[in-house]
């Protein structure tokens, strides 16, 4: 150091700062101290409200620096970190910054030594302040204040920052809410923006800020609804939103009940969609037995019995064709066999006409129970809902994995849905195979009961198309057999 002015040895200097966050004032003092060659261990820095020092009661006059004193050097990185670190609430921050500045004069590279304890510390302060600032940007919650009718809306927030960050972050709120009138109140000071100018005010108390805002009900509802109870991760939330911030965030009051209720809500979610099937039965007989007990959907609760598919039990007699209808009707339910009622008789007629031997095919339904509404003594057929078809699909898949058809013919939209898991248009899909993932083929056609509902020319037309589909299936079966 080349301070020419003699410095009194062992003198301590106590520097009083007027603001806890005023970097420029600190810099001016620090510069003078360096130029007067005052080593860090002989300076005490005192912020407003801070305690004094054992050696110096008042601010001792600094020695006068000579005109020829070398300029004080500081790396850009130091200045950048120091500007932010000085906002920290640690009373030792000024001394740390001065020590580093002092060391920078002898070793301009000191800031690049990441393992140096002083460098580590200033980075830590900087990081804490950045985090606090970031949390302020995030966790300030404005409330709308009642104002006189014609005046602009006024939004007021109460916030308790950990460090002296309010003024340094005013710009963020000005840029974001430039055309809004707002105030941020803190225990240290307050800020007011009227759309044009920023005014600093005195410290405030929590009671100075408004206590509620009807929009908070909406916000809390949103917060509770966007939370997925099946993904509870309280630790992750606590890391990012520590409890100390909660008291000023309207949504935080919900956290305990959301956490407490999460497991219950999750099991409800699972239970609401749950279909606890046991292991898939390995024989058709086992399926039939289990079907009688199936209550996975509302149809099972009706007074009916289940109707199992039927077909040849020997491999030689099986042509490889599986025919899937919609669901058993009244007569099927009473007989306990598929396709014995009017639609079944019509199907038999067409199969015979085309030359398909029904007894060589496995005939079953997408839904295994009869769905109906009771009208007097009559049970009126009801189409199964998509959900019911999807549920019963499990049984159909079980049958299919045992029967192992080469070709599946579904009749009607419900049956097609049971195979594909989606609703297809019969008109568009008929006449060509749909390849299934196991290598078998799916052909779709209309349901014979549809034909029963038609008359005259329309019925003739549909009957002709139905025959054409059956004929195509027959031809394809023959090809597959070779």
Partner 1 sequence: MSQKSIIDRLAILADAAKYDASCASSGTAKKNSLGGKGIGSTEGMGICHAYAPDGRCISLLKLLLTNHCIFDCHYCINRKSSNVERARFTPQEIVDLTLSFYRRNYIEGLFLSSGIIKSSNHTMEQLVETARILREEHDFRGYIHLKTIPEADPELVHQAGLYADRVSINVELPTDSGLVKLAPDKNAQQIEGAMGGMKMAIRQAKDEKKRFRHAPRFAPAGQSTQMIVGADAATDADIVGKASRLYDNFRLRRVYYSAFSPIPDASAVLPLKRPPLIREHRLYQSDWLMRFYGYQPSEVMQATEADGNLPLDIDPKLAWALKFRERFPVDVNRASREDLLRVPGLGVKAVNQIVASRRHRTLRLDDVARLTVSITKVRPFICALDWRPVMLTDRADLRALLAPKREQLELFSA
Closer to partner 1 at the Cβ: 398 or 473? Answer: 398
Closer to partner 1 at the Cβ: 39 or 421? Answer: 421
Residues 12-71, interacting with partner 1 (CB under 8 A): none
Closer to partner 1 at the Cβ: 155 or 450? Answer: 155
Nearest Cα to 56, choosing from 68, 70, 42?
42
Question: Would strands 441-445 and 434-435 be described as parallel, antiparallel, or unpaired?
Answer: antiparallel
Q: Which window, 91-99, 113-121, 326-334, 345-353, contacts partner 1 (CB under 8 A)?
A: 113-121
Calpha distance 4→18 (Å, rounded): 29
Shortest CB 461 distance to partner 1, Å: 29
The DSSP call for residue 293 is T
**Contact call for residues 309 and 397 (beta carbons, < 8 A):** no
- For partner 1, how many residues bind (rule: CB under 8 A)? 78
Closer to partner 1 at the Cβ: 436 or 468? Answer: 436
Q: What burial class does residue 321 get, using C-beta atoms within 10 Å of its C-beta: 0-12 exposed, 13-18 middle, 19+ buried? A: buried
State the alpha helices, DSSP H only, in 227-283: 234-240, 255-273
Calpha distance 13→40 (Å, rounded): 10
- Helices (H) and strands (E) counted in the chain, each on its own, are 17, 14
Closer to partner 1 at the Cβ: 109 or 316? Answer: 109
**Contact call for residues 215 and 200 (beta carbons, < 8 A):** no
400 to 429: interface string for partner 1, x by CB under 8 A: --------------------xxxx------
Shortest CB 363 distance to partner 1, Å: 23
Closer to partner 1 at the Cβ: 98 or 223? Answer: 223
The DSSP call for residue 257 is H
Closer to partner 1 at the Cβ: 147 or 423? Answer: 423
Calpha distance 368→309 (Å, rounded): 9
Residues 320-349, interacting with partner 1 (CB under 8 A): none
Nearest Cα to 410, choosing from 479, 309, 337, 331?
309
Indicate which single residue of 53, 160, 162, 213 sits in contact with partner 1 (rule: CB under 8 A): 213
Shortest CB 139 distance to partner 1, Å: 7
Residues 235-274, interacting with partner 1 (CB under 8 A): 235-238, 240-241, 249, 251-252, 255, 258-259, 262-263, 266, 268-270, 272-274
Closer to partner 1 at the Cβ: 113 or 208? Answer: 113
Calpha distance 445→408 (Å, rounded): 11
Indicate which single residue of 8, 112, 352, 461 sits in contact with partner 1 (rule: CB under 8 A): 112
Closer to partner 1 at the Cβ: 23 or 177? Answer: 177
Closer to partner 1 at the Cβ: 27 or 141? Answer: 141
Shortest CB 36 distance to partner 1, Å: 29
Shortest CB 107 distance to partner 1, Å: 9
Rounded to 10 degrees, the C-alpha dihedral 32/37/42/48 comes to 10
Residue 86 has a CB neighbour count (10 Å cut-off) of 28
Shortest CB 309 distance to partner 1, Å: 19
What is Dmax (Cα atoms) for the chain? 123
116 to 155: interface string for partner 1, x by CB under 8 A: ----x-------------x--xxxxxxxx----------x
Q: Which window, 197-205, 223-231, 327-335, 455-463, contacts partner 1 (CB under 8 A)?
A: 223-231
Q: In the block, which residue shows the tokens 């008789």?
A: 345
Q: Is the dihedral of CA 267, 271, 272, 273 positive or negative?
A: positive
Calpha distance 223→31 (Å, rounded): 51
Q: Is 435 in the site for partner 1 (CB under 8 A)?
A: no
Indicate which single residue of 2, 61, 316, 437 sits in contact with partner 1 (rule: CB under 8 A): 437
Residue 321 belongs to what H/E stretch?
strand 321-325
Shortest CB 283 distance to partner 1, Å: 22
SS3 content of the chain, % helix, strand, coil (to 5): 50, 10, 40
Q: What burial class does residue 172 get, using C-beta atoms within 10 Å of its C-beta: 0-12 exposed, 13-18 middle, 19+ buried? A: middle
C-alpha of 47 from chain center:
45
Burial of 229-262, coded b for 16+ CB within 10 Å and e otherwise, reads beebeeeeeeeebeeebeebbbbbeebeebeeeb
The residues facing 443 across adjacent strands are 409
Closer to partner 1 at the Cβ: 5 or 274? Answer: 274
Closer to partner 1 at the Cβ: 141 or 164? Answer: 141
Closer to partner 1 at the Cβ: 46 or 174? Answer: 174
**Contact call for residues 443 and 408 (beta carbons, < 8 A):** yes
What is residue 365's three-state secondary structure?
strand
159 to 188: interface string for partner 1, x by CB under 8 A: -------------x-xxxxxxx--------
Shortest CB 34 distance to partner 1, Å: 22
Shortest CB 248 distance to partner 1, Å: 12
Residues 355-394, interacting with partner 1 (CB under 8 A): 385-387, 390-391, 393-394
Indicate which single residue of 10, 76, 233, 428 sits in contact with partner 1 (rule: CB under 8 A): 233
Shortest CB 109 distance to partner 1, Å: 6
């Amino acid at each position: 150091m080349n301070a020419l002015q003699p410095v009194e040895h062992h003198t301590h200097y106590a520097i009083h700062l007027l603001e806890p966050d005023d970097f420029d004032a600190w810099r001016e003092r620090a510069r003078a101290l360096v130029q007067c060659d005052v080593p860090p261990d002989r300076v005490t820095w005192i912020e407003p409200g801070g305690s004094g020092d054992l050696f110096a009661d008042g601010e001792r006059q600094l020695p006068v620096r000579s005109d020829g004193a070398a300029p004080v050097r500081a790396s850009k990185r130091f200045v950048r970190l120091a500007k932010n670190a000085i906002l920290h609430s640690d009373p030792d921050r000024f001394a740390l910054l001065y020590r580093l500045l002092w060391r920078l004069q002898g070793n301009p590279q000191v800031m690049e030594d990441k393992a140096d304890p002083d460098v580590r510390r200033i980075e830590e302060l900087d990081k804490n302040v950045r985090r606090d600032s970031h949390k302020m940007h995030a966790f300030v919650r404005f409330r709308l204040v009642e104002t006189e009718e014609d005046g602009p809306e006024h939004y007021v927030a109460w916030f308790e920052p950990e460090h002296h960050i309010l003024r340094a972050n005013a710009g963020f709120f000005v840029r974001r809410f430039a055309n809004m009138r707002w105030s941020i109140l803190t225990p240290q000071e307050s800020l007011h923006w009227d759309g044009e100018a920023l005014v600093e005010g005195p410290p405030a108390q929590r009671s100075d800020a408004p206590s509620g805002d009807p929009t908070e009900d909406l916000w809390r509802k949103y917060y509770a609804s966007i939370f997925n109870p099946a993904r509870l991760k309280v630790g992750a939330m606590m890391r990012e939103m520590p409890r100390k911030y909660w008291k000023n965030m309207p949504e935080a009051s919900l956290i305990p009940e959301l956490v407490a209720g999460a497991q219950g809500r999750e099991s409800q979610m699972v239970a609401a969609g749950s279909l606890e099937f046991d292991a898939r039965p390995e024989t058709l007989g086992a399926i039939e037995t289990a079907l009688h007990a199936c209550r996975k959907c509302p149809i099972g609760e009706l007074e009916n019995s289940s109707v199992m598919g039927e077909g040849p039990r020997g491999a030689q007699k099986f042509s490889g064709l599986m025919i899937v209808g919609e669901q058993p009707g009244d007569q099927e339910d009473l007989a306990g066999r598929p396709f014995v009622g009017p639609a079944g008789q019509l199907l038999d007629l067409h199969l015979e006409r085309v030359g398909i031997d029904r007894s060589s095919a496995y005939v079953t339904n997408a839904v295994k129970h009869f769905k109906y509404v009771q009208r007097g003594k009559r049970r009126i057929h009801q189409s199964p809902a998509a959900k019911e078809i999807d549920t019963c699909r499990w049984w159909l898949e079980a049958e299919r994995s045992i029967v192992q058809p080469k070709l599946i013919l579904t009749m009607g939209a419900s049956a097609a849905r049971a195979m594909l898991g989606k609703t297809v248009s019969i008109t568009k899909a008929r006449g060509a195979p749909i390849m299934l993932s196991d290598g078998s083929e799916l052909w779709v056609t209309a349901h014979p009961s549809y034909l029963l509902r038609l008359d005259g020319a329309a019925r003739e037309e549909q009957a002709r198309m139905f025959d054409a589909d059956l004929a195509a299936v027959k031809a394809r079966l023959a090809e597959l057999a070779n």
